[in-house]
Amino acid sequence: PWRTDAQGHLKSDDNGDPKTDYTRWRLVNEEGRQTWRYLESDTENSAWLQTVAEKYHMGLPTGLPILPEAKSPLQSAENGLSFFSKLQLEPGNWACEYGGPMFLLPGILITYYVTNTPIPRKIKRYLFARQNPEDGGWGLHIEAHSSCFGTSMNYVALRLVGAHEDDPRMIKARGLLHKFGGAIYGPHWAKFWLSVLGVMDWEGVNPVPPEIWLLPDWVPFAPWRWWIHMRQVFLPMSYIWSKKWSFPLNDFTRQLRQELYPQPYESINFAQHRNSIHPADNYYPKTWLLNGINELLVRVWNPFLRVKAITKRAEDWTWELIRMEDENTDYAGLGPVNNPMNMVACYIHDGPDSYSVRRHRERLNDYMWLKGEGMLANGTNGVQVWDTTFVTQAVVVAGLADDPKWRPMLTKALEFIEDHQLRENVPDQEKCYRQHRKGAWPFSTKTQGYTVSDCTAEGLRSTIQLQEMYDFPKLISLDRLKDSVDCLLLMQNPTGGFTEYETTRASAKVEWLNAAEVFGGIMIGYDYPECTTASVTALSLFSKFYPDYRAAEIKAAKDKAVTYIKRVQRTDGSWYGSWGICFTYAAMFALESLASIGETFETSENSRRGCEFLLSKQKEDGGWGESYLSSEKHVYVQHEKSQVCQTAWACLALLEAQYPHKEPLEKAMKLLMSRQQANGEWLQESIEGVFNQSCMISYPNYKFYWPIRALGLYAKKFGNEPLQ
Ligand code: LAN
């Protein structure tokens, strides 16, 4: 239950809990829906045994055995798989933490607080664990420099979970926040959330007019054309902004108002601070165009021209779209930013006790993840489909799929993949601007249910590999595979490239309206080398087994896609990766797709340049290591240390491209093997993934299946000689 008294004073909370307390937690997995549950009762706790996976994810000793030492790459791959196979969950998928961004949990906590929702345990522990030790702040993501966004939001988050204002760590954080100039120097999203909580004035928030949703569809910058995450966040945000809804002031929020700013709250002229932003936060400054529009909206439209009847229509229409998003996802939502905002909108519209609020309350749990450092918010409701498809592919590519030992594991994985293919379009697809989804695979689960092009490609590929190449039960019929091909073909842009969720719906000029300040490239769906190449590779495989189905169209789509891939290759031979760090990640997908149409190191100039780029980045110790700063700066930045995951990506790129010389690869294999632990596992290194160019996100399972895949493929191509 919520730990405040009637005045909103926080009672002391449970976060001083000892580590042994972790023995009371269980991960419940209902058809891929993953939630952590704390067992209050001793009898239940002793009757319901903890699994290896649960122990592993919480950082408890797993008790998994020491394995015979791997002498050869294939043995190393098998040891890795022995360990990793123990983490498979009952429905057939693998789970993981999906943290990294430091702005998700605070939004969820503010939502919990303003809707009177009980707050899960162990969050305080996580937030303190992630505080930057030097300056006491937090950044945009776990490896970033401290910023006003990170520090103000996580300071508030900690206060909401009961951290005391006089705690030395809080004093340090507050000192930094005041050095930044106080919470008024945060970006738009911070100002929005703080206004919802009632510790900032709505005057300080640049306008988010729901009226924009009334623009006719043909308008080139109408919101239905924006990048899906932006428009789905903008949607509830505009509804709440229009209502200027704030949590009613209580003693606690009154007190917070005094902590967040260096000057007394009452003396602040919030309207003057709409555009205040600290340089540490200003990754992507607003354009003069957007600043001009904001001035007009604030000075002319809002006071003089805003018409009540039109506002009402706009609120009704945004509410309708919010409702459709909630119903289409059973209140799980597209992601962890729009979903809590939708919950606040439901709270305003439907009231505190409504079904919508109660269902959201349950569903927010799907985003929470427990690890040794405490409880955090994941970037999606999981990585279920994505990870599971890559595990099966790793086993296949490594040459281990016909070993009976792995058959039960792979069968379960295939069952999971089958269960989560999307079978029908959403009702009223056009009305709520959704992309076709029949036949697609999502990133996480069918409940979330959003088509993703490369997830569809990987799902298709895994299925064909298991069902056609290794004779696994045909759980997914040919018709359903054709559905997924149809879906992929619908996702290609006229440029030849593929976006992740939808085809591109507007010109890149809409980027001039980017109001987020902290993210780049967010206003429209762009072409991505990774999504495009994954689609080519999957379509190539499909046509190999079913050469007659839509042959001409598939060929045309592939040709166009390959032209795009070659066009966006840089002169140095690299590709910029948008979803993994960074050039190394994109090279793997790109070189594999070129190989899938027969273009390799020996036969293709593009492939050769791609390989040479990678080779020029190999480190002394044989590994590859790329810093997250590559994604931010758009140039290759070496990490100070080589990384298991990037080493595997680079090797897979070279191996798929049929790079003929063994030496650099052999050196890399030795590095992968030297980092493996005696029980077969690899340890967590630096963060692996990225979005919006500036925000990093963890893919903890990458350190398992990419090395397994690379080690096995190496053994296939260069032989499984002992390496040491
Ligand atoms: C993801 C996660 C998966 C990722 C891949 C499939 C790996 C990629 O190839 C395509 C894009 C996609 C689906 C993707 C898009 C953006 C997401 C959903 C994320 C990086 C996870 C979190 C992020 C989301 C936008 C976070 C919330 C933040 C906002 C700015 C709204």
Following DSSP, what letter does each residue of 565-579 receive, concatenated?
A: HHHTS-TTS----SS
What's the chain's Rg over C-alpha atoms?
25
Residue type, 567: R
- Ligand 1 mean position, distance from CA 608 (Å): 31
Query: Predicted confidence band at 78 (pLDDT cuts at 50, 70, 90)?
Result: very high
From atom 8 of ligand 1, which residue's Cα is the shortest distance away? Answer: 579
Is pLDDT of 272 > 60? yes
Average per-residue pLDDT for the chain:
96
Spot the catalytic one: 281, 366, 387, 454: 454
- Ligand 1 mean position, distance from CA 501 (Å): 10
Over range 173-180, report the average pLDDT: 98
Q: What does the pLDDT read at residue 369?
A: 98
Q: What is the rounded distance in angstroms from the CA atom of residue 21 to the CA atom of residue 299?
A: 55
From atom 22 of ligand 1, which residue's Cα is the shortest distance away? Answer: 379
Mutate to test the pocket of ligand 1, among 229, 385, 450, 488 (most ligand atoms within 8 A of CB): 229
- Ligand 1 mean position, distance from CA 379 (Å): 7
Which parts of 684-723 fold into alpha helices (H)? 702-718
Residues 508-551: pLDDT tens digits? Answer: 999 999 999 999 999 999 999 999 999 999 999 999 999 999 99
Q: What does the pLDDT read at residue 4?
A: 47
Q: What does the pLDDT read at residue 285?
A: 96
- Ligand 1 mean position, distance from CA 155 (Å): 25
From atom 1 of ligand 1, which residue's Cα is the shortest distance away? Answer: 691
Nearest atom in ligand 1 to the alpha carbon of residue 233 is 31
Is pLDDT of 3 > 50? no
- Ligand 1 mean position, distance from CA 294 (Å): 28
Nearest atom in ligand 1 to the alpha carbon of residue 522 is 30
From atom 11 of ligand 1, which residue's Cα is the shortest distance away? Answer: 500
Is pLDDT of 8 > 70? no
Q: What does the pLDDT read at residue 20?
A: 62
- Ligand 1 mean position, distance from CA 694 (Å): 12
From atom 31 of ligand 1, which residue's Cα is the shortest distance away? Answer: 229
Mutate to test the pocket of ligand 1, among 452, 461, 581, 582 (most ligand atoms within 8 A of CB): 452
How does strand 368-371 pair with strand 25-30?
Answer: unpaired
Is pLDDT of 566 > 60? yes
Residue type, 554: I
From atom 4 of ligand 1, which residue's Cα is the shortest distance away? Answer: 579
Residues 685-703: pLDDT tens digits? Answer: 999 999 999 999 999 999 9
Helix, strand, coil shares, percent, the chain, to 5: 50, 5, 45
Q: What does the pLDDT read at residue 17?
A: 55
Q: Is 403 a catalytic residue?
A: no
Nearest atom in ligand 1 to the alpha carbon of residue 334 is 18
Per residue, what are the HEC states of 176-189? Answer: HHHHCCCHHHCCHH
- Ligand 1 mean position, distance from CA 15 (Å): 30
C-beta atoms surrounding 719 within 10 Å: 11
Nearest atom in ligand 1 to the alpha carbon of residue 689 is 20
Over range 705-714, report the average pLDDT: 98
Nearest atom in ligand 1 to the alpha carbon of residue 519 is 30
Q: What is the rounded distance in angstroms from the CA atom of residue 526 to the CA atom of residue 497?
A: 8
Is pLDDT of 10 > 60? no
Over range 637-665, report the average pLDDT: 98
Q: What is the rounded distance in angstroms from the CA atom of residue 464 to the CA atom of residue 542?
A: 7
Is pLDDT of 297 > 70? yes
Nearest atom in ligand 1 to the alpha carbon of residue 455 is 6
Q: What percentage of the chain reaches a pLDDT higher than 70?
A: 97
Residues 605-626: pLDDT tens digits? Answer: 999 999 999 999 999 999 999 9
E-strand ranges in 364-518 read 368-371, 374-377
Q: What does the pLDDT read at residue 7?
A: 45
DSSP state of 13: -
By CB neighbour count within 10 A (0-12 exposed, 13-18 middle, 19+ buried), where does 449 fall? buried
Over range 255-260, report the average pLDDT: 98
From atom 28 of ligand 1, which residue's Cα is the shortest distance away? Answer: 337
CA atoms within 13 A on the CB side of 258: 6
Instruction: List, in sequence order, every residue forming a beta bridge with 691; answer none if it has no partner.
Output: 695
Report how far apart the first and last C-alpha atoms of the chain are (Å, whole number): 56
Over range 238-242, report the average pLDDT: 98
Residues 299-345: pLDDT tens digits? Answer: 999 999 999 999 999 999 999 999 999 999 999 999 999 999 999 99
Q: What is the rounded distance in angstroms from the CA atom of residue 245 to the CA atom of residue 251?
A: 18
- Ligand 1 mean position, distance from CA 500 (Å): 9
Mutate to test the pocket of ligand 1, among 500, 519, 631, 702 (most ligand atoms within 8 A of CB): 500
From atom 3 of ligand 1, which residue's Cα is the shortest distance away? Answer: 443
Q: What does the pLDDT read at residue 21?
A: 87
Q: What does the pLDDT read at residue 514?
A: 97
Is pLDDT of 179 > 80? yes
Is pLDDT of 266 > 80? yes
Nearest atom in ligand 1 to the alpha carbon of residue 386 is 6
Q: What is the rounded distance in angstroms from the CA atom of residue 390 to the CA atom of residue 96?
A: 14
Which parts of 515-643 fold into alpha helices (H)? 529-545, 551-567, 583-596, 605-615, 629-633
Q: What percentage of the chain reaches a pLDDT higher than 90?
A: 97
- Inter-residue contact 321 to 213 (CB < 8 Å): yes
Is pLDDT of 15 > 80? no
Nearest atom in ligand 1 to the alpha carbon of residue 697 is 20
Q: What does the pLDDT read at residue 626?
A: 98
Q: What is the rounded distance in angstroms from the CA atom of residue 244 to the CA atom of residue 563?
A: 49
Q: What does the pLDDT read at residue 490?
A: 98
- The ligand 1 site (C-beta within 6 Å) comprises 229, 233, 335, 337, 379-380, 386, 443, 452, 454-455, 500, 519, 530-531, 579, 691-692, 697
Is pLDDT of 18 > 90? no
- Ligand 1 mean position, distance from CA 699 (Å): 12
- Ligand 1 mean position, distance from CA 237 (Å): 19
From atom 16 of ligand 1, which residue's Cα is the shortest distance away? Answer: 691
Query: Predicted confidence band at 13 (pLDDT cuts at 50, 70, 90)?
Result: very low
From atom 20 of ligand 1, which residue's Cα is the shortest distance away? Answer: 691
